[in-house]
Amino acid sequence: MTAPFGARLAGAVTARGPLCVGIDPHAALLARWGLPDGPEGLARFTDAVVDALAGTVAVLKPQLAFYERHGSRGLAALEDGVARARAAGALVLLDAKRGDIGSTMDAYADVLRPGHPMAADALTVSPYLGPGALQPAVDTARRHGGGLFVLARTSNPDAGTLQHARVGERSVAQLVVDTVRGWNAEDGAGPLGSFGVVVGATLAELDVDLSGLGGPVLAPGLGAQGGSAADLRRLFDPATAVVPTVSRDVLAAGPDPAALRAAAARWADRLAG
């Protein structure tokens, strides 16, 4: 068992700052980089991003769907990229948004096992089969020192259709936050809990209570989606452990490694300002 994800994340943020860079090799971006939309182009893209950024940013967040669309060779490229990113010191958050029950959820969470071919530090998951459905993933994370980020209050336009629905006196989004708060409380004291939530950085206002969460908040939406460092300061209390995510604004600077590093550095400076 390795050190808990929350402790490793806290250490990485202290050493490198909180920036998380998404790795989203969609077809249009591969074309922009002059790469073919196939496993070879995917591997070259992934290698370039990892080589440029894994030694400096705290977290890299590959989007699994863009690798799955290329079949087994796409997954092989991701396996290699994940291993190389972690070897260079970056934490890897696999953005898969998995959600199921029983043995199926257990199988999805197996990616948090150190011996897994795509062994990641953390995984994004969806709670909409009920909080109890995620228990196999929680158990696996605890067993192997992994982390989970649970979709809670996303900022896509129609997210409120479900997330604002009421369960008794609480919204669904608040119920998710409260569930994750409970997992961290069960684990006791530490620099940072291993269980976090996803809350969009482009929300008009924060309509969930994150106090006492005990874990990190993944905040996607910076840059091309309209979010800014000022939005983070507007939405989140300074005591909240926010992990801001940028994808397109950094990746658009490629394929030149120096340009990728410079784009990430500009965001790191904005976040520190």
Other C-beta atoms within 10 Å of 56: how many?
A: 18
| Angstrom distances, CA of residue 62 to CA of 24, 57, 193, 205, 230 | 6, 14, 22, 28, 25
CA–CA dist 131, 186 (Å, integer): 15
Name the DSSP letter for residue 205.
Answer: S
238 burial via Cβ count (<10 Å: 0-12, 13-18, 19+):
exposed
Backbone angles phi, psi at 189, to 5 degrees: -70, 150
Q: Which of 84, 97, 113, 116 is catalytic?
A: 97
CA–CA dist 163, 35 (Å, integer): 38
- Torsion angle in degrees (nearest 10) through CA of 262, 266, 272, 273: 140
Q: Give the H/E segment covering residue 236.
A: none
- Both tokens assigned to 133: 């459905």
Residue 97 a catalytic site member: yes
Whether the upstream peptide bond of residue 220 has omega within 30° of 0, thus cis, is no
Place of tokens 């965001």: 267
Annotated active-site positions, please?
Answer: 97
